[in-house]
């Protein structure tokens, strides 16, 4: 059973400027609730017990959000507002399960993952990218089920338009397991349309093996000079580590772009 998850949160969020000039994008409200809480709720519902947040000094606001105990206590003492009491209990529950590590230089998702090395206890762990919200279906939970059956690494996946392949990690299909799960033969970070092996994109949910840390510690910078998790996954695949692409059932919302962020509020308010 996978009990630990990691969430990279050190990104600058430039696609959401000007909001991110003073605000952490993961705290921006989506239908009245910070985006990060949707991600945490997905983890809790999937049975995760500990979450490692990778933040930076610039994003200490995220840690502060979970550490406002004296403020809550003062308000609760004064007003006894049941809504505030409920919210405080929820924040306390999150706080208990979160650990913080720091990535002060934006060197890429692979580098962020490497920062969590000393905290990961089991053979496999879950990673969620907070820009990617998946609603109506718990994608992490479905991936855990597949992991339990196959004991392998998993990546969430969906078909994207050929025109947008250079925005994603794109993989080459291997053997079919069933209608929604395939083995992955190759994965390439943000390929050009001519180099893309398919239009199948990796979406921000991964079940990764602990062995990825040794790959990451040797990983050279790739696209855009960053250390990509995708490149470390490709190295593992080449050494015969099994990776399954899982076509998830929920609806994908890209909260990292302004249009996607606005749309996510509209979509979630409909549920």
Q: Name which position in 26, 42, 111, 132 contacts ligand G1P (CB under 6 A).
A: 132
Contact call for residue 204 and ligand G1P (CB under 6 A): yes
Backbone angles phi, psi at 159, to 5 degrees: -75, 135
Q: What is the 3-state secondary structure (H, E, C) of 193-232?
A: CCCCCCCEEEEEEEEEECCHHHHHHHCCCCHHHCCCHHHH
Contact call for residue 260 and ligand G1P (CB under 6 A): no
State the nearest-atom distance from the C-beta of 80 to ligand G1P, in Å: 43
Q: Name which position in 16, 114, 144, 202 contacts ligand G1P (CB under 6 A).
A: 202
Contact call for residue 228 and ligand G1P (CB under 6 A): yes
Residues 21-50 that bind ligand G1P (CB under 6 A): none
Residue 160: count other Cβ atoms within 10 Å of its Cβ.
18
DSSP three-state, residue 1:
coil
Pick the closer one to ligand G1P by CB: 34 or 108: 108
Contact call for residue 169 and ligand G1P (CB under 6 A): yes
Q: How many helices (H) and strands (E) are present in the chain, helices listed first?
A: 9, 13
Q: Name which position in 62, 112, 203, 216 contacts ligand G1P (CB under 6 A).
A: 203
The 69-108 contact track toward ligand G1P, x by CB under 6 A, reads ----------------------------------------
Pick the closer one to ligand G1P by CB: 8 or 88: 8
Cis peptide before 18 (omega within 30 of 0): yes
Place of tokens 């053997």: 175
Pick the closer one to ligand G1P by CB: 138 or 230: 230
Q: Name which position in 4, 116, 219, 230 contacts ligand G1P (CB under 6 A).
A: 230
What whole-number distance in Å separates Cα of residue 132 and Cα of residue 5? Answer: 15
What whole-number distance in Å separates Cα of residue 271 and Cα of residue 136? Answer: 8
Q: How far is CA 226 from CA 88, 171, 214, in A?
A: 38, 19, 17
- The footprint of ligand G1P (CB under 6 A) covers 109, 129, 131-132, 168-169, 189, 201-204, 228, 230
């Amino acid at each position: 059973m996978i009990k630990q998850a990691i969430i990279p949160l050190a990104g600058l969020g430039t696609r959401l400027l000007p909001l991110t000039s003073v605000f952490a994008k993961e705290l921006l409200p989506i239908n009245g609730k910070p985006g990060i809480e949707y991600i945490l709720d997905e983890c809790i519902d999937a049975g995760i017990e500990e979450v490692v947040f990778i933040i930076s000094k610039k994003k200490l606001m995220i840690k502060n959000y979970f550490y406002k105990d004296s403020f809550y206590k003062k308000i609760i003492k004064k007003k006894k507002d049941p809504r505030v009491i409920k919210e405080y209990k929820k924040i306390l529950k999150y706080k208990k399960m979160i650990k913080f590590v720091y990535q002060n230089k934006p060197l890429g998702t692979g580098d962020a993952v490497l920062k969590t090395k000393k905290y990961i206890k089991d053979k496999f762990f879950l990673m969620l990218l907070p820009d990617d919200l998946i609603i109506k279906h718990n994608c992490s939970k479905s991936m855990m089920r597949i992991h339990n059956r196959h004991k392998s690494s998993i990546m969430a996946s969906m078909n994207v338009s050929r025109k947008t392949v250079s925005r994603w990690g794109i993989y080459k299909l291997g053997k079919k397991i069933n209608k929604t799960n395939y083995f992955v033969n190759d994965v390439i970070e943000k390929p050009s349309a001519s180099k893309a092996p398919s239009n199948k994109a990796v979406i921000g949910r991964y079940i990764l093996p602990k062995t990825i840390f040794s790959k990451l510690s040797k990983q050279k910078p790739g696209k855009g000079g960053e250390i990509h998790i995708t490149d470390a996954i490709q190295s593992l695949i080449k050494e015969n580590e099994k990776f399954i692409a899982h076509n998830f059932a929920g609806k994908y919302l890209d909260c990292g772009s302004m249009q996607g962020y606005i749309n996510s509020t509209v979509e979630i308010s409909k549920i």
